[in-house]
Structure 1
């Protein structure tokens, strides 16, 4: 299952990037994230490990992931290291005039019986991720 959405945020790329790579902000702009943080010390970059606790249908689900690629001012990618279903995602950032285009791509790798639910789950996740990006835009534009 693959999902991709973009938003234009009326803030400079540097501000948007700084907010996104601060993992503790995930529980502010992502609707179902109740807790998020780093598992490793040091500068954020390739190999940084983090976690999130998501409230999925009133059930807390902890996932762990690591940054698999980081190009400052351009993009960062991550992949699950501990999750019910393996996933990976990428944030691409592009300066557009005095704004930043954020494109979020996310793929969940379901297999077997769980793959049958992909069409249903894609609709739910797609709406949620779109709403999360709109929340991110609102938070950053109002700060």
Structure 2
């Protein structure tokens, strides 16, 4: 079950939307707290591809390693972020529709231990505040900035 989710319709072709979002090098453009991303594996994006992400969390820098758990071009992908034991899965599904591309997103936090379970709701709220509008920001970037 998702801890938070969102969906958006972007008036652009699925190939463009998928390519833009699946390349985490673009994340600083649409995720406001992400400062940098660096691909740390060679080759094309596929299952097992890894990125390092640097973001500001509550005024402090946090470094995460992000790995692709699934990847089907123009259809879906799932990544897992690990930052000091906080593990978050982000899953995206892309559908071509008459209006352009529908993107569905869900996030799942994995917590272990009593204390992490106690703070899970707070962690979900922090992540939702940081990343909850990123699909709207992708829409704005792709539609209003004249891409594609």
**Normalization by structure 1: what TM-score?**
0.91
- 1:125 to partner: Cα distance: 2.4
Spell out structure 1 runs of 4+ moving beyond 6 A. Answer: none
Alignment partners' CA distance in 1, 2:64 and 2:21: 18
Asked if 1:139 corresponds to 2:147, the answer is no
Asked if 1:74 corresponds to 2:65, the answer is no
Question: SS state of the match for residue 70, structure 2?
Answer: strand
CA 107–8 in structure 1, closer or farther in 2 if over 3 Å, else same: same
Map Cα deviations across residues 26-54 of structure 1 (whole Å, 9 max, x no partner).
Answer: 11110110011200111111111111111
Question: SS state of the match for residue 134, structure 1?
Answer: helix
Alignment partners' CA distance in 1, 2:80 and 2:104: 17
Map Cα deviations across residues 60-80 of structure 1 (whole Å, 9 max, x no partner).
Answer: 000002111111110011123
Structure 1 runs not aligned, ≥5 long: none
1:128 match: 130
**Normalization by structure 2: what TM-score?**
0.88
2:117 match: 115
2:66 match: 65
Structure 2 runs not aligned, ≥5 long: none
Alignment partners' CA distance in 2, 1:92 and 1:83: 27
Kindly indicate whether the alpha-carbon contact (under 8 Å) linking 1:5 and 1:129 is maintained by their aligned counterparts in 2. Answer: no
Alignment partners' CA distance in 2, 1:42 and 1:78: 17
* Stretch moving more, 70-79 or 107-116: 107-116
Alignment partners' CA distance in 2, 1:73 and 1:64: 23
